[in-house]
Amino acid sequence: MKKYIFSRRVLIAAGIACLLLPLNSCDKELEVTPYSYFTTANFFSNSEEANMATLGVYESMSSLDTYGYNIPLIFDADTDISQLSGVGADEWRLIAHYQGISQTAIFYNVWSKLYEGIDRANVVIERIPQMELYKNGTQTQQEQLNRFIGEAKFLRGFYYSELVRLWGDVPFKTKSSQSGDNLKGGLVDRQEIYTQIIKDMEEAAVVLPAETPSDERINKWAAKAMLARIALFAGGYSLSPDGTMKRPANYKEYYKLAQEKINEVMAQNPYKLNTSYAKVFKNQCQHVLEPTENIFQVAFYNPAGTMGNGSWVGYFNGPLTAAGIYPNSIGRCLVPKPFYNTFKTGDQRRDFSIATYSINNVGNKLPLVTARQDEAWTAAKWSREYQTNSTVERSYTHINWVVMRYSDLLLMRAEVENELNEGPNPVAYDAVNQVRKRGFGADIAGSRIAVDIVNKGTGYANAANVVIQITGGGGSDASAAVVTLASGGISAITMLRSGDGYTSVPTVTITTTDGKGSGATAVARILPKPTAAEMNLPTGLSKIDFLKAIQQERAWELSGEGMRRADLIRWGILSDKIIETNAAVKLIRSNYFYPSIANFVAGKHELYPFPQNETDVNKSITRQNPKY
pLDDT for the residue numbered 2: 66
Distance CA 352, CA 556 (A): 11
Give residue 303's pLDDT: 72
Q: How many CB atoms lie within 10 A of CB 238?
A: 21
Comparing CA positions, the residue from 306, 297, 504, 291 lying closest to residue 397 is 306
Using DSSP's 3-state secondary structure scheme, residue 479 falls into strand
Distance of alpha carbon 403 from alpha carbon 218, whole angstroms: 12
Q: How far, CA to CA in Å, does 198 sit from each of 153, 224, 575?
A: 10, 10, 29
Extract the residue ranges of the chain whose pLDDT is less than 50.
17-38
Amino acid making up residue 210: A
Q: How far apart are CA 454 and CA 468, in angstroms?
A: 13
66 phi and psi, to 5 degrees?
-120, -100
Exposed/middle/buried for residue 21 (C-beta within 10 Å: 0-12, 13-18, 19+)? exposed
Could you tell me which of 151, 178, 158, 118 has the C-alpha nearest to residue 51?
A: 151
Cα–Cα distance list, 376 to 22, 319, 330, 352, 550 (Å): 49, 9, 11, 16, 27
pLDDT value, residue 40: 59
Identify which of 580, 596, 564, 602 has the alpha carbon closest to the alpha carbon of residue 239: 602
Hey, which bits of 520-562 come out as E strands? 521-526
What global pTM score does this model have? Answer: 0.94
pLDDT in the model for residue 280: 98
Give me the sign of the Cα torsion angle 383, 385, 390, 394. Answer: positive
Q: Is the peptide bond before 500 cis (omega within 30 degrees of 0)?
A: no
- DSSP character for 324? S
DSSP letter for each residue of 14-48: HHHHHH--------GGG----GGG--TTTS-SSHH
Residue 136 buriedness (CB in 10 A; 0-12 / 13-18 / 19+): exposed
Helix H or strand E segment including 510: strand 507-512
* Bridging pattern class, strands 187-188 and 170-171: antiparallel
Of the CA atoms within 13 Å of residue 351, those in its CB half-sphere come to 22
E strand map for 18-155 = 83-84
For the chain, state the CA radius of gyration. Answer: 25
CA-closest candidate to residue 440, choices 500, 354, 356, 502: 500
Residues 315 and 382 sit within 8 Å (Cβ to Cβ) = no
